[in-house]
Amino acid sequence: MKPEYSKTKSPEYSKTERVHLTEEKETLLITLYAKALDKRSEKPVLSDQKADEMVKAIDYDFEKLIPPEDLNSANLVVIRAKQIDAWLEEFLKTHPDVVVLNLGCGLDTLVSRINPSADVSWFDVDYPEVINLRKKFYLNQKNYQMVESSLTELRWLEEIPDNKPVMVVAEGVLEYLTEDEVKILLNRLTDHFSHGQIIFDVMNSFAIESSQKSLKKTTGAEHKWAVDDIQKVDVMDSKLKRISSLSIMGSKYIHKLPLKYRLIYKIMHLIPNFRNMIRLLRYNF
């Protein structure tokens, strides 16, 4: 029998939870809202019921993050999440007894969407103030733990068992670290665990420059790590062997979007600056 991770809340979801987050912590609401908007669409890609429920329960002006007339950023968040789900599900089929480490989890509903078996030890890691909000919606239990820490304070990793294969997911988070901080984090992960996979996304300079002004205005956050050459990521840790490099524009899940957006992303995929705006990388070690 699979465990139940979510807290039970009243069906009304009457804006009961206030949010007081700043800078990169506040950006977690962008990804949450994008998934809720997808759930409310005519043909959802993720169909993330939990994300929609959480948005309904949070007292916050979400439309300032993703205006109704501009769903491009929301679409890309949803496609990225769908691809991560697929890779994680693929990994769990061949590694049923593993550790899953979700870095910078925010209010991500990955554990609810995957709904892993009780053999999986799942850890969601984020700042204490983020985890405090997350605990309004999720419960710590034997096989699911929320860890309160900045990713750069690596003492939290000592709490994570190292005797199983690991799947590390870092969705929409490493771009808020410096290149040196990313390298240290990757090195520490591959030293702690004997083997596994790591999935994370990277943004090129064009994407960061294009979004920086609006991101700063809405949340005060700042992207710090741009990746124009993936080979520079490959050499950050000698144990990492890249097995996937996928432009979000080229994901097979793009075809699930309305025709208008399918055409937009097909054209964007032909232009290198746009094609490489957001790429998902997957590594073995």
CA angle 195, 124, 220 (to 5 degrees): 115
**Residue 13 pLDDT:** 46
Return the pLDDT at 64. Answer: 87
* CA 74/CA 41 separation, integer angstroms: 12
List C-alpha distances in Å: 87 to 5, 36, 93, 118, 283.
21, 22, 10, 19, 11
pLDDT of 7? 55
- What is the model's pLDDT at position 3? 54
- Whole-angstrom distance, CA of residue 103 vs CA of residue 24: 13
Q: What is the pTM of this model?
A: 0.91
Predicted pLDDT at 9: 46
pLDDT of res. 128: 95
pLDDT along the chain (285 residues), means of 10: 52 61 85 96 94 94 83 92 98 96 97 95 96 94 95 92 96 96 98 97 94 79 93 97 96 94 94 95 98
Do residues 246 and 280 make contact, with C-beta atoms less than 8 angstroms apart? yes
Q: Tell me the domain boundaries of the chain.
A: 86-284
Query: Pick from 94, 29, 35, 91: which is nearest to 62 by CA?
Result: 29
The CATH classification number of 86-284 equals 3.40.50.150
User: Residue 199: what are its φ and ψ, rounded to 5°?
Assistant: -120, 130
SS3 per residue for the chain: CCCCCECCCCCCCCCCEECCCCHHHHCHHHHHHHHHHHHHCCCCCCCCHHHHHHHHHEECCHHHCCCCCCCHHHHHHHHHHHHHHHHHHHHHHHCCCCEEEEECCCCCCHHHHHCCCCCCEEEEEECHHHHHHHCCCECCECCEEEEECCCCCHHHHHHCCCCCCEEEEECCCHHHCCHHHHHHHHHHHHHHCCCEEEEEEEECHHHHHHHHHHHHHHCCCCCCCCCCCHHHHHCCCCCCEEEEEEEHHHCHHHHHCCHHHHHHHHHHCCCHHHHCCEEEEEEEC
R_g (Cα) of the chain, nearest Å: 18
Q: What is the pLDDT of residue 262?
A: 94
CA angle, residues 122, 281, 111, in degrees to nearest 5? 20
At 85, which amino acid appears? D
Cβ pair 233, 198 in contact under 8 A: no
